[in-house]
Amino acid sequence: MTNKFLCDFRFLLLAAAVAFIYIQMRLFTTQSKYADRLANAVEAETRCTSQMRKLIDQISMQQSRIVDLEVKGLQRRMNKIQTPVAAVVVMACNRADYLERTIKSILKYQNAVASKFPLFVSQDGSDPQVRKKALSYDQLTHMQHLDSKLVQTERPGELIAYYKIAHDMEIAPDFFDYFEAAAALMEKDKTIMAVSSWNDNGQKQFVHDPEILYRSDFFPGLGWMLTKPTWNELSPKWPKAYWDDWLRLQENHKGRQFIRPEVCRTYNFGEHVDWKSKDLSYLMEDKYIKLFAEILKNAKPINGADAVLKASNVQGDVRVHYEDQPDFERIARQFGVFQEWKDGVPRTAYKGVVVFRYPPPRRVFLVGPKSFELLGIKSV
């Protein structure tokens, strides 16, 4: 009985071992198949990833080309769009015929740069002909200012029609190039309050070089440009009249200076100047004062009466010293240049020095009693 049980148990163990071996063989076969399939899948995934990377690289290259083309296209479009420089405001009052002449003069040269220099007409008063004339042009914006109160003069007998000068201007062909170049200078030098296209002593007999610009302590007026921050500073207290004289007051310009040309850019008797190709850095305050002082030192001094006759007989630049305002007016009268002062400053003066040509190309310097000191010049 015992032997039979042991024999049966052995058969059962043998059957279990065979079954285990069979199962392990099936599992190995199945695992081998799955391993082969997994290897194939990994290989396929690797090939797919490689192809995907190549495709991504190709797409990236195409996108880069597209972006480059779009950037270049945008740049070309941007190049056609001109960056604004300044608004051109013509101040008018009651002379429609003069306004028309000024507008035609401006449009002759402004059309090519209209987006840089948008045009406005600012009309003071209710003159119907001025309004009609301004509104007849599609190229500009008309603004009208009405005030029922009469403008009061500072002194008895003074004229009120100051705006007549503003809408009585005609411009030179390089007018807009001049102001665009000057705008870059104003951005660099904050001591410049305004740039003007006008020279009070700019008549033909007193000028020579259309490329020369000067600094001045006297606001020139007539075709001038302020920066936006300066306008924001001054506009809340802007006067209803005499704004040019108002800007000449020390309390308003606060020691800041102005740029003016030798040859006016508000009418055309000088050659066209390519202002944007000119280096105007000599007008920066620190450079200009040294340059001007050196030129003045080298001018030959003239003393005594008959300054005009003596100047005419000297080769090269000359300088004539004046003692005070009456003395300046006497000398200026002899030469025929402006005699007027405002708030202690002669017209066109820089550090008390008024410069003009007489006869061209000779420069004449009318030098004030404190000019050498202000320019840092020792007695020569």
Catalytic center residues? 244
- Could you tell me if 281 and 186 are in contact, meaning their C-beta atoms sit under 8 angstroms apart? no
Task: Determine the straight-line distance between the first and last CA of the chain, rounded to whole angstroms.
Answer: 149
User: What is the DSSP annotation of 99-154?
Assistant: HHHHHHHHHHHHGGGTTTS-EEEEEES--HHHHHHHHT-TTEEEEEE--SSPPPPS
Q: How far apart are CA 380 and CA 160, in angstroms?
A: 46
* Token representation of residue 93: 């009052």
CA angle 143, 238, 259 (to 5 degrees): 95
Beta strand pairing call for 119-124 and 88-92: parallel
Angle at 75 between CA 70 and CA 77, to 5 degrees: 95
Query: Residues 226, 227, 231, 234: is their CA dihedral positive or negative?
Result: negative
- 96 close to 129: Cβ distance less than 8 angstroms: yes
- DSSP line for 248-300: TSHHHHTT-EEEEESS-SSS--S----GGGS--GGGSHHHHHHHHHHHHHHSE
- DSSP-derived secondary structure for 195-230: EES--TT-SGGG---TT-EEEESS---SSEEE-HHH
CA dihedral defined by 169, 170, 172, 177, rounded to 10 degrees? 60
Measured CA to CA in angstroms, residue 203 lies from 39, 261, 266, 277, 359 at distances of 96, 12, 12, 26, 12
Contact 350, 253 (CB under 8 A): no
The DSSP element (H or E) to which 89 belongs, if any, is strand 88-92
